[in-house]
Amino acid sequence: MRALIGGLDDNWAMKKDSDIPEMKLGALRVRVMAAALNRADLYMLEGTYNPNMKQGDVYPAGMEYAGVVETSSPLAPHLPVGTRVMGVTMGAFADYALCDPRMVLPIPEHLSFEDAAALPVALATENDALTRAGFSAGQSVLVVGGTTAIGLSAIQLAKALGAGTVIATTTRSDKKQLLLDLGADVAIDTATEDLTQHVLDATEGAGVDIVLDHVGGELFGRLPAATKVGGSIVNIGRLAGPATALDLDQVALRRINIIGTTFSVRTQDELAEVCSALNAEVMPAVAAGKITPHIDRVYAAEDAHDAAERLRANAALGKIVLSFAENGPNDESQRAPVANFFGSIAQLGYVVRDIDASLEGFVASGIGPWFLLRGVQPENFTYKGVSSAMAMDVAVANSGDIQIEVICPVNDEPSMYRDFLEAGNEGLQHFAYWSSDFQTLYDKAIAAGFTVGQEGQLGGPTGRFAYLNTEHHPGTCVEISDLGGAKAQLFDYVKLAAAHWDGSNPLQVIDPNMLAAH
């Protein structure tokens, strides 16, 4: 596949024979159709975006994309193969990208791939800034740098979320009308007009509740005077430089909150939370047409150098987008066979604090009969590689072809079940895949980069199991299990009993010794 690589030179290098990214547990893979440029992409080339990144570090470029789900994730059943999606991920400037499903959003029907690629970073950035400033409907918002790509989105977002008065700035009078067309109530040319006076005039002398600043530099020093007493200034970008002269007496007297924000050092979980926050109000506003992307120019992926130069020169009015739709991969043999990596899901596993109460609930919903084993201790059980004498009560029943397992740990020995409960969880803890060739499946998982949280066996060496960690959905994990010996016989019996159950005798307690190795 094609991929743009950073860190080899002053610009990205197009590598046309890159490997398609291999699937990782919980992730989904997207066939990228369009990807948008951000200032952060240029900062990465310079080695200044992340304090842990140095110039010369080689990395897959790009962070914002739109495309089609090529391989789905069991953790995102709402995003099946073929779904048009957009989102944020590292390595977006490529024909295929591996994505955390928490940072993937369905594309509204009316948007093209190019339009959709221009939205995720801007929406996540501006919505996060408003949230950090404590925004509520009816408040006034000043967008400094309104004609930046994300500033154009900020104007529309503030209006869509119910801002009272929205004021936006530019440094060119001929761009003021665009700001008004996108929803700003007042547009100010800070190169020729008095920012403070115009803001005070528009807010009856009070100043704005919230400032979204994308510029920094000298202009930042003028913002406190235009901000309401008790208001907030959120610095998002520093296009005019990181240094400013600030009157701290004015900041103190007006009790102004100054907030800095960047995505460059946030954790994956933090970024996922920011992206997920768009689902409540922002994405419905996009779907309703209240927020529309403003595209400056679309370049072919092979012309990425020209696109970068346009962004560096500050010549763009809106987003610059790279198209990966043309000249993309068409050889199906390039694709790694990753569909159904482990096979089909055979079991859903619940971990609970009170197994008897849980089984009563399942029976009431029509699932049964249940077969309960108390005090089960798996053989050769290890947790994070260390031997553990964990004991548990286990019950199994079938709902059609899917087995339901309910587990309750009964001692304090370490296990992933105990971790799950101590984290405040209760309910679905794992989904399981069964195989008659466990070792091959186990080796395949390890080779693909999965790590084992706990493992052991029930019913001898043909009853092995392993629980695999997943970073994409903390708390929920994947179990792979050998299906042989006494365990296989029990599971066959449980399925047969469910198929003929008439509701009588819903719970049968059986001797755990029936699973003993023999």
What's the pTM? 0.66
Whole-number Cα distances in Å, 252 to 226, 248, 255: 14, 6, 5
- Dihedral of alpha carbons 198, 202, 207, 211, sign: negative
Could you tell me which of 235, 236, 208 has the C-alpha nearest to residue 221? 235
- CATH label, 3-120+291-323, candidates 3.10.450.50, 3.40.50.360, 3.90.180.10, 3.30.9.10: 3.90.180.10
Whole-number Å distance between alpha carbons of 457 and 463: 5
If we measure between CA atoms, which residue out of 42, 49, 56, 43 comes closest to residue 8? Answer: 56
Q: Which long-range contacts (CB under 8 A, 24 or more apart) does 268-273 make?
A: 268/100, 268/471, 269/474, 271/88, 271/103, 272/100, 272/102, 272/103
pLDDT of res. 51: 60
What's at 176, amino acid-wise? K
**pLDDT per residue as tens digits for the range 7-29:** 887 889 999 999 999 988 889 99
Across the beta sheet with 345-351, the strand order is: 386-387, 379-383, 452-457, 464-468, 477-482, 427-435, 345-351, 402-409, 392-399, 370-376, 507-509
Can you give the pLDDT at residue 473?
A: 55
- What is the distance between the alpha carbons of residues 94 and 60, in angstroms, rounded to a whole number? 8
Q: How far apart are CA 286 and CA 483, in angstroms?
A: 48
C-alpha to C-alpha distance for 159 and 463, rounded to whole angstroms = 60
| Residue 332: partners with Cβ closer than 8 Å, 6 or more residues away | none
Is 3-120+291-323's fold the same as 138-260's?
A: yes
- Please return the burial class of 480, using the count of CB atoms within 10 Å of its CB with bins 0-12, 13-18 and 19+: buried
Cis peptide before 409 (omega within 30 of 0): no
According to CATH, the superfamily of the domain at 138-260 is Medium-chain alcohol dehydrogenases, catalytic domain (3.90.180.10)
CATH number for region 345-515:
3.10.180.10
Sequence-separated (6 or more) residues with CB below 8 Å from residue 416: 383, 429, 453, 454, 467, 477
* Distance between CA atoms of residues 348 and 309, nearest Å: 52
Neighbours of 81 (CB within 10 A): 12
What is the pLDDT at residue 242?
92
SS (H, E, C) 455-486: EEECCCHHHEEEEECCCCCCCCEEEEEECCHH
Cβ proximity of 129 and 195 under 8 Å? no
Nearest to 508 by CA among 488, 494, 489: 494
Per-residue pLDDT of the chain (518 residues; tens, 9 = 90+): 999 998 887 889 999 999 999 988 889 999 999 999 999 999 888 877 776 555 567 889 999 999 999 999 888 888 988 899 999 999 999 999 999 999 999 999 999 999 999 999 999 999 999 999 999 999 999 999 999 999 999 999 999 999 999 999 999 999 999 999 999 999 999 999 999 999 999 999 999 999 999 999 999 999 999 999 999 999 999 999 999 999 999 999 999 999 999 988 898 899 999 999 999 899 999 999 999 999 999 999 999 999 999 999 989 999 999 999 877 665 443 444 444 677 889 999 999 999 999 999 999 999 999 999 999 999 999 999 999 999 999 999 999 999 999 999 999 999 999 999 999 999 999 999 998 888 988 887 877 778 899 999 988 888 999 999 875 556 789 999 998 877 888 899 999 999 999 999 999 999 888 765 43
CA triplet 116, 50, 76: central angle to 5 degrees? 40
pLDDT of residue 336: 43
| Per-domain residue ranges of the chain | 3-120+291-323, 138-260, 345-515
Whether 94 contacts 18, CB under 8 Å? yes
Quick one: pLDDT at residue 216?
95
CA-closest candidate to residue 102, choices 262, 261, 268, 267: 268
Count the Cβ atoms, other than its own, within 10 Å of residue 121: 25
Q: How far apart are CA 370 and CA 399, in angstroms?
A: 11
Compute the C-alpha angle 352/356/361, nearest 5°: 80
In which element (H, E) is residue 187 found? strand 186-189
- Cβ–Cβ under 8 Å, residues 129 and 212: yes
Record the tokens describing residue 326, joined without a space: 């043309």
**Looking at residue 472, what is its pLDDT?**
54
pLDDT on residue 52: 56
CA pseudo-torsion sign 52, 54, 58, 62: positive
